[in-house]
Amino acid sequence: MQVSKLGIASLLCLAGAAMAQSDEPLQPIEPAKVTNQALVDLGAKLFFDPRLSRSGFISCNSCHNLSMGGSDNLKSSIGDRWQQGPINSPTVLNSSLNLAQFWDGRAADLRAQAGGPIANPMEMAFSHELAVDMLQSIPGYVNEFKAVFGDDKLSIDEVTTAIAAFEETLVTPNSRFDKWLKGDKKAITEDELKGYQLFKESGCIACHNGPNVGGNSFQRMGLIEPYQTDNPAEGRFAVTGDDADRFNFKVPTLRNVELTYPYFHDGAADTLSQAVDTMGRLQLGKKFTEEENGLIVGFLKTLTGDQPSFVLPQLPPSSDKTVRPNPFN
């Protein structure tokens, strides 16, 4: 306990240092700068293409639904053959701002991440080779890869590069809170401002800071009081093997957190109010009153930004040579 509290104190110092630089420990999200629209458009198609899965049914968008804040709003995802996923699906919105990908940070960046689900037997259950073969059998894709990458050898690297380029556009600027940060003092209400102040004063800001309001460090879940869960995930320890990292998870972004219920790596908290209550007790040793809880929840809802807005991608049709999916065998 003593050590843990010291931990928080030093974290708050760090946050304090960050505060000294800008005025606030949170920074606004900047709109994406697209330098290669053709690459992004190709990535969007791949993100929506269920043919990257064994069944022909599951795409990235199945579990990171861009109509619903970039996650699936399920405790744990539904994968190939309706298999239950091991962990809650995090949002892809603003994920480019995270220090690493996945709850345990085992992928360094979006490119490294994007190859994972395609070959994961619990998720899309395909293989990189089959994915490339599939794409190569489709003239529409072959032409598009050629136009974008300037070569004939379509590869999984090109696939993940395109998906990552699309994901980099999935930022959510212009939240009411960001407008407030940029000087529009009427963008949030007085209560929402109180909620923000409470968020800072209580110590939430120690872990949830920076432009993504999180996403920039790994922290112990259950710092003051242990977290009870049936979920076997061990967090960062799975990557480093270091005992000190056991049950450390990447601090999730709180951007668009209104949309990414349920909460925590096990999806155990159905509502934002529950998640705030748990955070207060387990990370800070604080039991918020109902009013305080409501104020913080109110503030968190000001973090919902402009959702990605684009025309639903049209996928190039399979050719006679494309191997047909067979989801039931």
d(CA 275, CA 17): 27
**Helix (H), strand (E) at residue 248:** strand 248-250
Nearest-approach distance from CB 311 to ligand HEC, in angstroms: 19
Q: Is 123 a catalytic residue?
A: yes
Query: Would you count residue 248 as binding Ca ion (CB under 5 A)?
Result: no
Residue 208 labeled ligand binder? yes
Classify each residue of 131-141 as buried b or exposed e, where b means 16 or more C-beta atoms within 10 Å of its C-beta. bbebbbbbeeb
280 Cβ contact list (under 8 Å, min separation 6): 202, 286, 287, 288, 293
Alpha-carbon distances of 163 from 33, 39, 41, 116, 255, rounded to whole Å: 16, 9, 9, 12, 21
Of 153, 112, 161, the closest CA to residue 136 belongs to 153
Q: How many residues bind a second copy (CB under 8 A)?
A: 46
Interaction residues for a second copy, span 52-71 (CB under 8 A): 55-57, 62, 65-69
Q: Residue 295, Cα to own-chain centre: how many angstroms? A: 24
Which position among 40, 60, 154, 259 is part of the footprint of a second copy (CB under 8 A)? 259
Which amino acid is present at 257? V
Which of 123, 144, 158, 168 is an active site residue? 123
68-97 footprint of a second copy as x/- string (CB under 8 A): xx--xxxx--x--xx-x-------------
From Ca ion, a second copy, ligand HEC, none, interface partner of 318 (C-beta below 5 to 8 A by class): a second copy
Residue 13 labeled ligand binder? no
The residue among 150 and 303 lying less far from ligand HEC, judged by its C-beta, is 303
From Ca ion, ligand HEC, a second copy, none, interface partner of 188 (C-beta below 5 to 8 A by class): none
Rounded to a whole number of angstroms, the CA Rg of the chain reads 21
Residue 265 labeled ligand binder? no
The residue among 260 and 304 lying less far from Ca ion, judged by its C-beta, is 260
Which amino acid is present at 205? I
Nearest-approach distance from CB 147 to ligand HEC, in angstroms: 21
Contact positions vs ligand HEC (CB under 6 A)? 58, 60, 62-64, 77, 79, 85, 87, 89-90, 92, 95, 98, 101-103, 110, 113-114, 117-118, 123-124, 163, 199, 202-204, 206-208, 219, 221, 223, 249, 251-252, 254, 257, 260, 263-265, 272, 275-276, 279-280, 283-284, 296
The DSSP bridge partners found for residue 107 are: 101
The residue among 203 and 262 lying less far from a second copy, judged by its C-beta, is 262
Which position among 260, 293, 302, 304 is part of the footprint of Ca ion (CB under 5 A)? 260
The residue among 150 and 326 lying less far from ligand HEC, judged by its C-beta, is 326
Which of 27-30's residues contact partners 24+ apart within 8 Å by CB, and which partners?
27/181, 27/210, 27/211, 28/173, 28/178, 28/181, 28/182, 28/211, 29/94, 29/97, 29/171, 29/172, 29/173, 29/174, 29/175, 29/178, 29/211, 29/212, 29/255, 29/305, 30/171, 30/173, 30/211
149 Cβ contact list (under 8 Å, min separation 6): 158
**93 neighbors 70 (Cβ within 8 angstroms):** yes
Q: Could you list the residues known to form a binding site for heme c, using ranges.
A: 60, 63-64, 204, 207-208, 279
Contact residues toward Ca ion (CB under 5 A) are: 88, 260
Residues forming the active site: 123
Contact residues toward a second copy (CB under 8 A) are: 45, 48-51, 55-57, 62, 65-69, 72-75, 78, 81-82, 84, 258-259, 261-262, 270-273, 307-315, 317-318, 320, 324-325, 327-328
